[in-house]
Chains A and B, each alone.
Chain A
Amino acid sequence: MGLEQFKDRRVGTQNYKKLDLDHAPNCGWCQFKQVVSRTFKPELFVGLWVTFREMINALFRGQMHTTQYPLEKLPISPRYRAIHDMLRLLESGHYRCIGCGLCEKICISNCIAMETRYDENQRKEVSEYTINFGRCIFCGYCAEVCPELAIVHGQRYETASEQRASFSLFEDMLTPIDKLNLQKEYDGFGAVSPNADENIKKTPLAY
């Protein structure tokens, strides 16, 4: 669709297809003909065939549509913004968060609370990190701003629980250390695009 067409606000005057409907019969004979043709057209049997075919497809060709939800789940888009995950470094297993505090700053509903301190190696350590999911609007800014892709949106959309705190502690969101090999790189909101390499340009140093 071109820009010209897109901006055309004369709604209702463009691009309508008229259906080629038959006209209602207007004489007795025409009505009779319509009745006869409708009676003897095999359309009813076409209808029967359609449902029967679908039954065969469903039963024997594996085209059953039902997803038995709690047992099976449909895949969701990587861009889906569900409960957050904190990722780990694959090599060392250490959590990725460097405690920069950008996510806390950018959060528009002010629901990330974190505290940091220096550990014994003079490395910044996250001592407290919680997200108040009573307030989070799942905007995804935290994942987008995070320089390390440490906080990302996960796929856990079943968020009913007795306590809203159930999801919100750092340890709850962090990839369990024994599941590290199952950790998936995030390709949703804020991740580097697949063609990132092509987009990198040399820094012009000439000026």
Chain B
Amino acid sequence: MEATMLPEVTAGGVIIKAVLILAVISAIAGFGTYIERKVLAFMQRRLGPQHVGPYGLLQIIADGIKLFTKEDIIPQHANKLVFAVAPAITAATAFIALAAVPVFPDFTIPEWIPVLGGIFVPSIASDVNVGILFVLGMMAAGLYGPLLAGMAQANKWGILGSARTAIQFLSYEVVTGLSILAPIMMVGSLSFVDFNDGYNDNGLWLIVYQPVAFVLFLIAGYAETNRTPFDLLEHEAEIISGYVTEYSGMRWGMFFIGEYANMITIGVIASVVFLGGYNDFWIIPGWLMIIGKIAFMFFLMLWVRASWPHVRPDQLMWLCWKVLMPVAVINVVITGIVMMV
């Protein structure tokens, strides 16, 4: 329907978009590590990275050089193929998930640029009509990374890590689906664009109608991105580094980038679905709003990490199956009843 107003989305545009996402999100993921270290440090009244560049801003470059130049070690008894593929799964699925998420506004490359001039670059790499399902499914598939990595490396900490991955996978996946179901029922679509436009119809952020679903989604999202209250997979104090124990250098870095890309994805989904998306708010333009919301969701993850202790695996299962799932089901039922009446 929008094709009349917008220029044609060409293959070239999509490819440029994909490259953009890859470049920008990798950079942001790297920058995210810097932000995380700084914020955590401030919350503990420390300074954080300080010496590389002004305010330690170039720390990510130093880290990048370190990661790239480190020796790539594959342990002796590891299953070499799986060991090598696992990090790629995490990183790749994280970026594939981002393909269906609106990341930046549309723009057209100016004509004066030699080869690429005039190509229209869409906001979403591929606006599939089951966007939410696709993204959640991709992020869930990303858990194969830790699972395989832990099992491939012939290391008991790795095995424990992948066992915990399985636990985590079994726990939150139900809650994610059920929590997002109620908003889907209200909007009646699975496309992110419809969620975004739903705001215009109602005039209120979806979080006002669905606070319970928002909280549930956040909890499940933290479990999905393996963030602190649920960072069971690689909790240092218990299982060394879990599934990344044997990884070093760039392979480890790919897990890391995948994790941060997933954090951004969760932030985007939460902002678009629950917090009104990239609509203008009062006098603030939409692109600034969406950046602000994503930044806040990201900050919230760091904030939570600084504040809260993490739970045991059995507590996670208990929480997800005995508390969150019933709450989510009740929420869906109530939403349904209210919509029917």
Contact = CB atoms under 8 A, between A and B. Distances in A.
A47 B308 contact: yes
Given A35-B323, A52-B303, A44 B46 contact: no
Interface stretch (B37-45, B86-94, B148-156, B267-275): B37-45
B47 A50 contact: no
Interface range, B side: 10 to 19
Interface stretch (A7-15, A62-70, A121-129, A162-170): A62-70
Contacts of B116: none
Interface range, A side: 10 to 19
A48 B43 contact: no
A59 B42 contact: yes
A55 interface: yes
Nearest to B318: A35
B306 interface: yes
Contact of B306 (A44, A51, A65): A51
A57 B42 CA distance: 9
A65 B43 CA distance: 11
A52 B47 contact: no
Given A47-B307, A48-B307, A51-B303, A64 B43 contact: no
Q: Which 8 A-B pairs have the closest CB atoms?
A: A58-B45, A47-B307, A51-B43, A66-B47, A65-B45, A51-B307, A55-B42, A51-B306
30 contacts: A35-B323, A39-B323, A44-B307, A47-B307, A48-B303, A48-B307, A48-B308, A50-B307, A51-B306, A52-B43, A52-B303, A54-B42, A54-B43, A54-B44, A54-B45, A55-B39, A55-B42, A55-B43, A57-B45, A58-B42, A58-B45, A59-B42, A63-B45, A64-B45, A64-B46, A64-B47, A65-B45, A65-B46, A68-B47, A68-B50
Interface of A: 35, 39, 44, 47-48, 50-52, 54-55, 57-59, 63-66, 68
